[in-house]
Amino acid sequence: MSITHPVRTDVVVVGAGFTGIYMVHKAHELGLSVVGIERGQGVGGTWYWNRYPGLRCDVESLDYSYSFSEEIQQEWTWTEKFPAQPDILAYLEFVANKLDVTKDFRFNTEVTGAQWNEQTSRWLVATSAGEIDTKYIVWGTGILSTPKIPNIPGMDTFEGELLNTATWPHAPVSFAGKKVAVLGTGSSGIQVIPIAAETAEHLYVLQRTPSYSLPARNRPLAPERVAEVKARYGDYRAEARSSMLGAVTETLDQPFSVMGEDLARSELERNYEYGSPMRFASAVVDTIADDDANAFVSAFAKAKIRSRVNDPAIADKLIPDYRIATRRLCIDTNYYETFNRENVTLVDLRDEELIAMTPTGFTTTAGEYEVDMFILATGFDAVTGTLSRLDIRGRGGASLKEKWSHSPSTYMGLAVAGFPNMFVATGPGSPAPLSNVVVSIETHVEWIAGMLARLEADHVTSFEATAESEQEWTAHVNEVSDSTLMRFSDSWYTGTNVAGKPRVNVVYLGGCAPYEARLKEIAAEGYRGFTLTT
Ligand code: N01
């Protein structure tokens, strides 16, 4: 009988997206052995799986990229204001090759669970390709990595093409001459809908909750603009890192009560013309903090939607009735104008309920629709969904899934009491979901690397966030959220898009720069809030 021993390493990094690539590189720098695990066939993470036509990031490319290497940021050249998915994927492949980390990943490999061993103070990580015995584990599984699949009766009987924006096929998909339905009108739906409408015979947009969306005004990046930023990239990055959202927004930084309506309107107009959700949401700085400010900004955005739709009755259906920016503010290219086309029908699921899918289409309370293709753009079981599907067992066999089913609590959005030697990059309670996530990722990876260096130098065998520090941080995250209008948000920010999830804001709203300052203080104070065992 042959016995297979687990592979032994210092660090396991799960996920080969922005986090995993940088974390493996940092482990190398520290002289630690590292194994990366990735279920995809290559690097890219989010940008590997989501590849539907029209997908581009809503953070500007000059911001949405690593800042840690002057060589990389000088060598790579972005060509558009907002980067398209193939460009981001190519960028991540370029960086992974440049850092020589691709070889450290086991691709096509799924992690199924991880178990903390009290005797050895190490983790045993179970994967589809065998076990790995590791001192540390860093989850770089991202915030939007587990698609939410709606439970529509009859979905498995549909005989046409059933696609999901979050797991889009690698082979080209044609809409030409087909009757197509898109379910979901969040960021993903809003991007794929105008493209599908261009060639589909007919497009049905199934909308339950309208989104606020702004014209992206994507355009080629002028070479002079790229050169200008590259010439001062260090300062540009420092400005982004010292901001609330992790990106340069050029806001006046004034609350609505100080600005007054005229200035607020002209700032909104200026940022609307620029085209950027972060800039628009920062134009009136207390948009998600003050009801008057929010009402003014919401009214501005509603009027803009109305101006883009020919039929006032359809515009009424497309205009949201919730406070702007308490759900994700989207950007689009011709989204609202798509509803002016003859071949597009808005199916408002608030007027007619979706009952079932059939072999040839779908039925609602208003009737039957025949389609050849049905696209799910229904979002994600975000932030906690991926780790909650794994069997992760910490001290005393405690289950992370069970713990987070009550409240997704962490210390500083990256460590969990009862789960020693484990980091959750961009975890619940960090600013990541509402920030330029690359800045949030760099903040986490660099801080984790700093802590690993200290642990190794001091021969620490295990570290763990204390229950008190976790409670205090989670209470602070909730307190900040409750002081804003985000307390009214029904979305993946608060877990309400997935049945059975606790209603808790998973985003720390205190801002990127204050958050990073706090992390630095914790490190300077000898990792306050952690128990270190030597
Ligand atoms: O998902 P979403 P997404 N029946 O959750 C609807 C990032 N992202 O993939 O709200 C009917 O926003 C749901 O309706 P409702 C970005 O952070 C970024 O679009 O549940 N409808 C909603 O309309 C974003 O926030 C970019 O009533 C159902 C939609 O599906 C995040 O990813 C691009 C339903 C889901 O919207 C998620 O965006 C893409 C059901 N059973 C994504 N279930 C850019 O950077 C769900 N819906 C540009």
Mutation pick for ligand 1 pocket among 143, 208, 386, 486 (CB with most ligand atoms within 8 Å):
208
Place of tokens 């009757």: 179
Given pLDDT bands bounded at 50, 70 and 90, which one contains residue 2? very low
Q: Are residues 141 and 155 in the same domain?
A: no
Helix (H), strand (E) at residue 386: helix 385-388
Quick check: CB of 335 below 6 Å from ligand 1? no
- Render pLDDT for 19-49 as a digit per residue (tens, 0 to 9): 999 999 999 999 999 999 999 999 999 999 9
Does residue 147 line the site of ligand 1, with CB under 6 A?
A: no
What residue's CA is closest to ligand 1, atom 43?
378
Name the packing angle between helices 233-241 and 512-524 (round to 10°).
90
What's the CATH code of the domain at 348? 3.50.50.60
Give percent above pLDDT 90 in the chain.
98
Among 146, 378, 434, the mutation site with the greatest number of ligand 1 atoms within 8 A of its Cβ is 378
Residue nearest to atom 5 of ligand 1 (CA): 379
CA distance 412 to 415: 7
The pLDDT score that the predictor gives to residue 248 is 87
- Confirm or reject: Cβ of 144 under 6 Å from ligand 1: yes
Using a 6 Å cutoff on CB, does residue 153 contact ligand 1?
no
Range of the domain at 291: 243-327
Containing 112, the helix (H) or strand (E) segment is strand 111-117
* 96 domain residue, yes or no: yes
Do 186 and 104 fall within a single domain? Answer: no
Number of residues that make up the chain: 534
Residue 510 lies in a domain: no
The CA distance from 158 to 532, in Å, is 55
Ligand 1, residues 328, 349, 383: which to mutate, most atoms within 8 A of Cβ? 328
**Residues 347, 204 contacting (CB under 8 angstroms):** yes
Do 19 and 141 lie in a common domain?
A: yes
- Residue with the nearest Cα to atom 26 of ligand 1? 187
Q: Tell whether 322 and 345 lie within a shared domain.
A: no
323, 491 contact by CB (below 8 A): no
Is 222 part of any domain?
A: no
Burial class (CB in 10 A: 0-12, 13-18, 19+), 477: buried
Distance 523 CA to ligand 1 centre (A): 37
The residue whose CB lies within 8 Å of the most ligand 1 atoms, and thus the one to mutate among 55, 347, 497, is 497
Query: What mean pLDDT is predicted for residues 121-143?
Result: 97
Residue at 1 is within a domain? no
Q: How far is the CA of 306 from the centre of ligand 1 (A)?
A: 22
Closest residue CA from atom 36 of ligand 1:
186
Residue 476 in domain: no
pLDDT over 70 percentage in the chain = 99
Q: Which of 315, 349, 379 is the last residue of a domain?
A: 379
387 and 500 together in one domain: yes
Say yes or no: 20 and 116 in one domain.
yes
pTM of this structure: 0.96
Three-point CA angle 61, 62, 64, nearest 5°: 55
Provide the pLDDT for residue 1.
41
Stretch 102-126: mean pLDDT:
97
Q: Is residue 170 part of a domain?
A: yes
What's the mean pLDDT in 429-436? 96
Kindly state if the Cβ of 197 falls inside 6 Å of ligand 1.
no
pLDDT at 4: 62
CA dihedral 56, 57, 59, 65 (to 10 degrees): -110
Is the beta carbon of 189 within 6 A of some atom in ligand 1?
yes
Evaluate: CB of 497 within 6 angstroms of ligand 1.
Answer: yes
DSSP letter (8 states) at residue 485: G
Does residue 103 have a pLDDT over 90? yes
Query: 116 with 159, same domain?
Result: no
Convert the pLDDT of each residue in 54-63 to its tens digit: 999 999 999 9
Cα angle 359, 362, 366 (rounded to 5 degrees) comes to: 140
Q: What letter would DSSP give residue 353?
A: -
- For the Cβ of 495 lying below 6 angstroms from any atom of ligand 1, the answer is no
- How far away, in angstroms, is 331 Cα from ligand 1 center? 13
- Token digits of residue 216: 């992206």
Paired strand residues for 380: 147
Please state the atom number of ligand 1 nearest to the C-alpha of residue 150. Answer: 41
Find the mean pLDDT for residues 418-434: 97
| E strand segments, 2-72 | 7-14, 34-37
Please report where in the chains the tokens 């739709």 appear, as a residue.
Answer: 309
- In this structure, are 206 and 338 located in the same domain? yes
- Whether ligand 1 lies within 6 angstroms of the CB of 328 is answered as yes
Compute, in angstroms, the gap from residue 263 CA to the centroid of ligand 1: 33
Q: Tell whether 203 and 334 lie within a shared domain.
A: yes
Q: For ligand 1, atom 8, name the residue with the nearest CA.
A: 187
Domain co-membership, 11 together with 139: yes
Residue 3 has pLDDT above 90, yes or no: no
Query: Pick from 359, 379, 399: which residue ends a domain?
Result: 379
For ligand 1, atom 13, the nearest C-alpha belongs to 184
In a domain, 233, yes or no: no
**Ligand 1 center to residue 154 CA distance, Å?**
22
If DSSP states are collapsed to H, E and C, what string results for 261-302? Answer: HHHHHHHHHHHHHHCCHHHHHHHCCCCCCCHHHHHHHHHHHH
Q: Is residue 83 part of a domain?
A: yes
Look at residue 6 in the predicted model and tell me its pLDDT: 77
Q: How many whole angstroms from 380 Cα to the centroid of ligand 1?
A: 7
Q: What average pLDDT does the chain have?
A: 97
| Encoded tokens for 452 | 């690993």
Residue 413 has pLDDT above 70, yes or no: yes
d(C-alpha 106, C-alpha 110), whole Å = 9
- Count of domains for the chain: 3
Q: Tell me the mean pLDDT in the region 244-254.
A: 91
Q: Is the CB of 364 under 6 A from ligand 1?
A: no
CA 373 – ligand 1 centroid, Å:
19
Quick one: which atom of ligand 1 is closest to the CA of 185? Answer: 23
The Å distance, Cα 378 to ligand 1 centre, comes to 5
Q: Which are the contacts of 93, defined by CB distance < 8 A and separation ≥ 6? A: 42, 43, 44
pLDDT in tens, 448-503: 999 999 999 999 999 999 999 999 999 999 999 999 999 999 999 999 999 999 99
- Does residue 150 line the site of ligand 1, with CB under 6 A? yes
| One domain for residues 39 and 156 | no
Q: Tell me the H-state helices in 65-144.
A: 70-75, 85-98
Q: What does the alpha-carbon distance between residue 457 and residue 114 come to, in Å, rounded to a whole number?
A: 26
Q: In this structure, which residue's CA is closest to atom 15 in ligand 1?
A: 209
Ligand 1 pocket check for 492: Cβ under 6 Å: yes
State whether 77 and 61 are in the same domain.
yes
Final residue in a domain of this structure, among 379, 407, 439? 379
Q: Is 459 left (phi over 0), alpha (psi -120 to 50) or beta?
A: left
**Cα separation of 472 and 238, whole Å?**
29
CA of 497 to the centre of ligand 1 (A): 9
Task: For residue 194, name the pLDDT band (cuts at 50, 70, 90).
Answer: very high
pLDDT of residue 399: 98
